[in-house]
Every structure is written in C-alpha cells, then in structure tokens.
Amino acid sequence: MWQAEHVQQRLQAFYPRCDVRILGMTTEGDRRLDRALSEIGGKGLFTKELERALLDGRADLAVHSLKDVPMELGEPFALAAVLTREDPRDAFVSTRYASLEAMPEGARVGTSSLRRAAQIRNRFPALEVLPLRGNVVTRLARLDEGRYDAIVLAAAGLKRLGLAARIRAIVEPTLCVPAAGQGALAIETLAGRDDLARWLAPLADARTAIEVHAERTVSRLLGGSCRVPLAAWCVSTPPGGLRLVARVASEDGRSMAEAVVDSDTADADAALRLGERAARSLLEQGAAQWLGSS
C-alpha cells in the first residue's frame, strides 16, 4: 500500500488536475503465509490478482516491487516504468546481536528468501536459518516475540515504512548479493497503452531501468524465481560503465558459483550483454545442478 500511495502522490504532483485512485487488493501471496513461496507458486502470487484487474478494466496500472515481478510477463502486459531505486541491499535486524558476524553457533536467523538463506548458510554454516513469512510488521513482531535471534529483510522496505531505526547493520553485497530488481518499484500496464506510457514517463529512472535490465536478464536466462537461490546486482561505474555480480547457490549453501562482469558502456544493449555473459559464466561453473526444473 505504501508503494501504491507513493506512486499516487508522484502522479498527482505531476498532474494535479488528475484524479488518481487506489484500488486496494490483497493477493494470494499475502494471504498464504503458512508455507514458503517456493512451495506454493512463487512470485506470480503477488501479481496475478492485480493483472486480472488490469485485464477487466478495474485498474489502469499496477505497482509492484520489481523483485516480485516474474521474469517473463504474459503477452497482454508490459512494464511501463521503473522508478528510482531505493537501497537494494539486505538489512540485519536484531535486538540481541549487532551483525551476522556477531551471532554465536546455533543462533536463529529468519528470512523468507532462499537467496538470502543460501548465502547466509554459505558464510555462516553454524547458524540456524529458519523460514519467515508475513509483512514487515508481522516479521518484526515475531522477532520481538523471541522466535528468532535475528531476521534479514530488504533494507528498502524498512526505510520506506519509516522503520530504518530497526536496522542494526546493512548486509553488504559482498556477503549477500541482492535479488534481481531489489529496491526498485515497477509500474505494470496492459501492453499497447501508449497513453499511459507517456503519462508515466516522468516517474521513470533510466539508470535504474538499465541496471535492473542486466539483473533480470541473468535471472530470466537461468529461470530465476523464488524457487532458485539466485542473486543479481548491477551498479553503474565511473565514468560510464556497469558492473554485474551474480550468484547461484545450492539451497544448503554448501556450494556456490559467482560471476562478476563489467562493461565500459551503460545502455540497454550493454545491460543485456552483461546479463548474458553472467548467465553463461554461472552455467560454465556448474550452476545448472542447482537450478532444477525452475
């Protein structure tokens, strides 16, 4: 809802005479909290109901966390705009410990992400990594109840909700590479709505769009979903290049492949080529064995 209200406010600032209304919806991904996303259908559970509203005309646009948008959109749909990215990194939250490095053997870490779990297990095999579902407030409450010694969440979500004070430490990407598109908001519309694309253009951020294009390319080529411990993070590098870091791991974290690729240019074609190079490198390192049938 914060994301929808944020886009609503941005649009009303650009177009003060336009009435921008929010159609509040609860998706299946929000309702089914008893099992891991990887077991009940994946990221599409956060988008299907919103896409139905686009198809039947109840809504003109849908606002998503880009990391929750499937890598392949159905033919009737398009991503009309990607907004400026918030902090893409993960955040360590605990009332007991200052960081993952400070946690003792057997301490319990909660996360909803196979990607985070695999990378944490790889670096800290003595920690107990446990599943954690629910919205941000629910996850924090379960931490405060003592069910976990720490939890790891997206830093962007905490900051957007005014909960940055709960962050004990930022988990640096050298330890835990973010998910493709993490920290970015995307606006989905029906394909062919050129009127909406023009209307949304002032919200779009070209740099973020290029970076996440590289990330989503490697994830798309490797069948990335919440059922795959896959990470991809692209940053712009001076004076005008890109660097993409991608990882695929076994679910238990014991094995991991990493690709780091660079480009001297930073446009959509360069981003596509980076994603292709990273995917090829990971496959050459044997990543296919951890991708399964996802």
- Mapping DSSP onto H, E and C, the string for the chain reads CHHHHHHHHHHHHHCCCCCCCCCCCCCHHHHCCCCCHHHHCCHHHHCHHHHHHHHCCCCCCEEEEHHHCCCCCCCCEEEEEECCCCCCCEEEECCCCCCHHHCCCCCEEEECCHHHHHHHHHHCCCCEEEECCCCHHHHHHHHHCCCCCEEEEEHHHHHHCCCHHHCCEEECCCCCCCCCCCCCEEEEEECCCHHHHHHHHHHCCHHHHHHHHHHHHHHHHCCCCCCCCEEEEEEEECCCEEEEEEEEECCCCCCEEEEEEEECCCCHHHHHHHHHHHHHHHHHCCCHHHHCCC
* Catalytic one of 19, 56, 68, 205: 68
30 is known as an active-site residue: no
CA distance 235 to 179: 13
* Residues known to be catalytic: 68
